[in-house]
Copies of this chain bind each other. A is one copy, B any other.
Amino acid sequence: MHTIEQLNDGRAVYLNGQRINVADVPIFRKTLALNNQYYALQRTHQDVHTYIEDGQRYDIAFKVPLTSADLKQKHRAYQEIAESNNGLLGRTPDFLNSAMAALAVRSHFLGHNEYTNFAANAKHYAEHVKTEDIFISHALQNPQLDRQKAINAIPSGYAGVHVTKRTMEGITVSGAKMVNTMAPIADDLLIFNPPELLLEKGDTSYAVAFATPLNTPGVKIICRKLLDHPVYTGYTEDDFPLSNALDEIDAYIVFDEAFIPWERVFVDNDVEMSNRFFMDSGMFIHSSHQDEVRGITKLEFATTLAIRTAKLLGLDGFLGVQEKLGRLTANLELIKGTIARSEEEGRLDDFGIYTPNQQALQAVRSTLPEYYEEALKVAQHLAAGSMVGVPGFKEFNGDNGPILEQALGTSKATAKERAKFLNLVFDLTTAGFGQRQLMYEYYHGGDPMRIRSQHYAGEDLRAGNEMIDRIMKS
């Protein structure tokens, strides 16, 4: 856990062409404070958020789950963290910490090369993260330059991160990763390749996985345009209750001959191992569990918002509106039930880790974004004209304040409450902030289309096949 000032540690963060101090950017400050709820809850809800191992107390995310009950306890903790940010911070520390728990146990397959033992490096790193409870951020997606070409066939050298030098001490890397979240306020950066778009044979120099502090020389964090409305715009959190309160940030990460010592390297020069890293380490499935639990909270937030919009505007008496709202709550039930099933129908893996049911989790992962979008759409259409026209909140303090207070107050809300609520709906459904959150929800866990294309192959359809076989044989 850091104060924002501690993040002025030499890291190279860029914003619209300027290298900046993280502490100088208000939205980074606020986001860090929100993210730190992860640490705060360890103190205030110790029973839920921590556990003891060998006499030491750790965050519950690091616990290696051995039973369904363990997963359910972790669920509770993840949920409380998510509720502190309305499910809108997708990458709080518990996300990758849950992955570290698996990596520590399963790292053996990573093997070694002539310079170092990758398996041991990974295990030690996972333990380091746990002991220090540091905040790691990861970047896996390679920049999408031409999806019809192999990475190594793109000449710029920026279609991924690749090794340019290899010495006794470590590797030197250059290149880029697309869309990292939270890097400006994290401690370490974890780099690997996605399991979805597999590297090809010729991509060996890109076949690398490692971790490194964010202030490593040669690492550049180039942020996208911010989506908040800072003080000088005249707008406050009353105007933009979400976009002025937090930003996950999406940074383009550049490596410019950055040196990584062997002890932080987990894969090198090995396409097969690079392609296996995320799945076979157990990092994927265990972090997915955290991720989808968080997703419930975001979905519940949007669902409730839609229902309250209908009530505020007196639209909840219409049968057609009720039906739409009932769809949303039914969707929420389907998600909650399926995550519960992933916890109850898990399995012990070869290392004795109780692992959530992947078919259930992936069903959620591919479906939740559509349900979330449906909730946004309902709220957006209910609020449409009312929401779009809300004036700046300072108007209530100006000449027109008394008029607006009288004109826009109803039996359900004062004019200011109505305005702030509609601003909240705007921010989540219509503002760039909210639509980026929607895109994030769709793609942060891989393309839903590809998840589906693999899902049917893994489904247990014995009962269905037996019924069909019986008919075929009759």
Binding site for B on A (CB under 8 A): 14-19, 79, 83, 86, 141, 143-149, 154, 156-158, 176, 178-179, 220, 222-225, 232-235, 237, 239, 241-242, 250-252, 254, 256, 297, 300-301, 303-305, 307-308, 313-315, 317-320, 322-342, 344, 359-360, 362-364, 366-367, 380-381, 384-386, 388-400, 403-404, 406-412, 417, 420-421, 424, 426, 429-432, 435-436, 439-440, 442-443, 449, 451-456, 458-459, 461, 463-468, 471-472, 474
**Cα–Cα, bound, A327→B455 (Å):** 8
**Cα–Cα, bound, A328→B458 (Å):** 12
Whether A385 lies near B443 (C-beta < 8 A) is yes
Question: Which residue of B362, B392, B453, B463 contacts A17 across the interface (Cβ within 8 Å)?
Answer: B392
Whether A334 lies near B367 (C-beta < 8 A) is yes
Kindly list chain B residues whose C-beta atoms are within 8 Å of the C-beta of A146: 313-314, 410-412
For chain A, what secondary structure do more than half of its interface residues adopt (helix, strand, loop), or is it mixed?
helix
Beyond contacts A252-B389, A305-B468: 14 other A-B pairs, Cβ-Cβ < 8 A, are A14-B395, A14-B398, A16-B234, A147-B315, A148-B317, A156-B409, A224-B391, A225-B391, A233-B233, A333-B338, A333-B359, A384-B439, A420-B472, A424-B468
Kindly list chain B residues whose C-beta atoms are within 8 Å of the C-beta of A176: 407
Question: Which residue of B327, B435, B449 contacts A431 across the interface (Cβ within 8 Å)?
Answer: B435
Whether B452 lies near A394 (C-beta < 8 A) is no
A469 to chain B minimum Cβ distance, whole angstroms, is 10
A77 to chain B minimum Cβ distance, whole angstroms, is 14
Question: Which residue of B145, B314, B430 contacts A432 across the interface (Cβ within 8 Å)?
Answer: B430
Oligomer copy total: 4
Question: Which residue of B411, B424, B454 contacts A326 across the interface (Cβ within 8 Å)?
Answer: B454
20 interchain pairs (CB within 8 A)?
A14-B398, A16-B391, A19-B399, A83-B463, A86-B471, A146-B411, A158-B403, A158-B408, A300-B463, A304-B467, A308-B465, A322-B454, A330-B363, A330-B367, A331-B367, A334-B335, A334-B337, A336-B341, A337-B338, A432-B432
Whether A461 lies near B300 (C-beta < 8 A) is yes
Kindly list chain B residues whose C-beta atoms are within 8 Å of the C-beta of A359: 329, 333
Whether B319 lies near A453 (C-beta < 8 A) is yes
**Cα–Cα, bound, A303→B333 (Å):** 22
Kindly list chain B residues whose C-beta atoms are within 8 Å of the C-beta of A442: 381, 384
Whether A314 lies near B149 (C-beta < 8 A) is yes
A8 to chain B minimum Cβ distance, whole angstroms, is 18
Kindly list chain B residues whose C-beta atoms are within 8 Å of the C-beta of A390: 224-225
The residue in chain B whose Cβ has the minimal distance to the Cβ of A16 is B392
Whether A430 lies near B439 (C-beta < 8 A) is yes
Given contacts A389-B250, A453-B326, contact A313 B424 (CB under 8 A): no
**Cα–Cα, bound, A453→B224 (Å):** 34
**Cα–Cα, bound, A337→B292 (Å):** 14
Given contacts A17-B394, A455-B329, A471-B241, contact A254 B403 (CB under 8 A): yes
Whether B395 lies near A16 (C-beta < 8 A) is yes
Question: Which residue of B327, B406, B466 contacts A156 across the interface (Cβ within 8 Å)?
Answer: B406
**Cα–Cα, bound, A413→B337 (Å):** 39
Kindly list chain B residues whose C-beta atoms are within 8 Å of the C-beta of A380: 435, 439
